Structure 1
Amino acid sequence: MSNQPTRLFSRLTPSTERTLADVLRTERAGGILLLIGTVAALIWANSAWSDSYEAMKSFTIGPEALHLDLDLAHWAKDGLLAIFFFVVGLELKREIVVGELRKPSTAIVPIVAAVGGMAMPAILYTLVNLQDGGSTAGWAIPTATDIAFAVAVLSVVGKWLPNALRAFLLTLAVVDDLLAIIIIAVFFTDDINFVMLAASVACILVFGFLASKRITYWWLLFPIAFASWAFMHASGVHATIAGVALGLMVPAIKAKGEKHALAEHWEHKWRPISAGFAVPVFALFAAGVTISSEAVSAAIADPVAQGVVVGLVIGKPLGIVLATWLVATFTKAQLDRGISWPDVLGMAFLAGIGFTVSLLIGDLAFNGERVEEVKMSVLAASLLAAFIGALMLFWRDRSYRKMYESRSIPVVGHDRMGDAHALAREIGGEAAPAPEDSERESH
Structure 2
Amino acid sequence: MAQVTGTQRGVWASITRLAASDRASGLIMLSCAFVGLIAANLPLTYHLFESIAETYIGIPYTNINLPIGHWAQDGLLTIFFLTVGLELKQELTTGSLSNPKAAAVPMLCAVGGMMAPPILFIAVAALFSAYGPGDAGSVVLTTTGSVIPFADLAHGWAVPTATDIAFSLAVLALFAKGLPGSIRAFLLTLATVDDLLAIILIAVFFSSVNAWYWFIGIAVCALIWAHLVRMKKVPWPAVAIVGLLAWVMMFEAGIHPTLAGVLVGLSTPAREIHGELTPRAERYASKLQPFSALLALPVFALFATGVHFAELTPALMMSPLVIALIVALVIGKPLGIIATAWVSTHIGGLKMAKGLTVRDMIPTACACGIGFTVSFLIASLAYSNAELSAEARFGVLVGSLISACISGVLLNHQSKEFARTTRTGEPR
TM-score (normalised: structure 2) = 0.86
Q: Distance in 2 between matches of 1:242 and 1:254?
A: 24
Aligned counterparts of 1:104 and 1:283: Cα–Cα separation in 2: 33
The match for 1:113 is 109
Identity of aligned residues (%): 38
Give the stretch that moved more between structures: 189-198 or 175-184: 189-198
Aligned equivalent of 1:363 = 380
Cα distance in 2, alignment partners of residues 66 and 316 from structure 1: 41
Once the two structures are superposed, residues 122-172 of structure 1 have per-residue CA deviations (whole angstroms, 9 ceiling, x without a partner) of 111122222232321000000011111111111110111111110111111
Q: What SS is found at the alignment partner of 1:251?
A: coil
- Measure the CA separation in 1 of the matches of 2:60 and 2:384: 22
* Partner of residue 31 from structure 2, selected from 20, 30, 36: 36
Q: What is the CA deviation profile of residues 327-379 of structure 1, one whole-angstrom value per residue up to 9, with x for unaligned ones?
A: 11134344444434343011011000001111100000002431221121111
Separation in 2, partners of 1:243, 1:358: 18
Deviation of 1:215 (Å): 4.1
Give the alignment of 1:347-386 within 5 angstroms: 347-369=364-386, 370-386=388-404
Looking at structure 1, the residues matched to 339 and 26 of structure 2 have their Cα atoms a distance apart, in angstroms, of 28
Change (3 A) 1:301 1:281: closer
Bigger mean CA offset, 58-67 vs 45-54: 58-67
What CA RMSD, in Å, does the superposition of the two structures yield over aligned residues? Answer: 2.2
1:385-424 Cα distance to aligned partner (Å, 9 max, x none): 111111110000111222333359xxxxxxxxxxxxxxxx
Residue by residue over 1:417-439, the C-alpha shift from the partner in whole angstroms, topping out at 9 and shown as x without a partner, is xxxxxxxxx99xxxxxxxxxxxx
| 1:128 equivalent in structure 2 | 124
* Residue type of the alignment partner of 1:28: R
User: Does residue 243 of structure 2 align to residue 238 of structure 1?
Assistant: no
Q: Is 1:324 aligned with 2:320?
A: no
Distance in 1 separating the partners of 2:236 and 2:284: 12
Q: Distance in 2 between matches of 1:190 and 1:110?
A: 32
Distance change (3 Å), C-alpha of 1:339 and 1:291: farther
CA deviation string 1:289-314 (max 9, x = no partner): 34676664255232x32221111011
Trace 1:7-406 onto structure 2 (pairs within 5 A).
25-47=20-42, 48-130=44-126, 131=129, 132-133=138-139, 134=150, 135-290=153-308, 296-298=314-316, 300-302=318-320, 304-369=321-386, 370-406=388-424
Which range moved further: 365-374 or 211-220? 211-220
Whether the 8 Å CA contact 2:104–2:350 is kept in 1: the answer is: no
Alpha-carbon distance in 1 for matches of 2:189, 2:408: 19
Write the distance in 2 (CA, Å) between the matches of 1:267 and 1:294: 39
What amino acid is the match of 2:347? Answer: F
Q: Give ranges in structure 2 of 5+ residues lacking alignment.
A: 1-16, 130-137, 140-149
Residue correspondences, number: 388
Letter in 2 for 1:372: A
Residues 19 and 289 in structure 2, CA contact (< 8 A), matched pair in contact too: no
Question: How many angstroms apart in 2 are the aligned matches of 1:195 and 1:333?
Answer: 45
Q: Which amino acid aligns with 1:29?
A: A
Q: 1:26–1:275: 8 Å Cα contact kept in structure 2? A: no
Read off the aligned partner of 1:100 and give its amino acid letter: S
Equivalent position of 2:145 in the other structure: none
Q: Which residue number corresponds to residue 9 of structure 2? A: none
Q: Deviations over 1:185-230 (max 9, x none)?
A: 1101124222223212211110011112344222121111011111
- Residue type of the partner of 1:82? T
CA deviation after TM superposition for structure 1 residue 29, in Å: 2.4
Hey, what's the Cα distance between the residues in 1 that align with 2:124 and 2:270? 43
For 1:147, give the aligned amino acid.
Answer: I
Judged with a 3 Å threshold, the aligned counterparts in structure 2 of structure 1 residues 24 and 298 are, in CA distance, closer, same or farther, namely closer
> 1:28, CA displacement in angstroms?
2.7
Q: Deviations over 1:107-131 (max 9, x none)?
A: 3112211100000001111222222
Unaligned runs of 5+ in 1: 1-21, 409-425, 428-443
Aligned residue for 2:105, secondary structure, equals helix
**Distance of aligned partners of 1:24 and 1:222 in 2 relative to their CA distance in 1, 3 Å threshold:** closer
CA distance in 2: counterparts of 1:76 and 1:184, whole angstroms:
17
The question of whether the paired residues in 1 share the 8 Å contact of 2:18 and 2:24 is answered with no
Paired with 1:279 and 1:294, the residues of 2 have a C-alpha distance of 24
Q: How far apart are residue 46 of structure 1 and its match?
A: 2.3
Relative to the length of structure 1, the TM-score reads 0.83
Structure 2: distance between partners of 1:371 and 1:208: 37
Note the C-alpha offset of 1:70.
1.3
- Matches of 1:321 and 1:37 in 2, distance apart? 32
2:104 partner letter: I
**Using the alignment, how far apart are the partners of 2:330 and 2:121 within structure 1?**
11
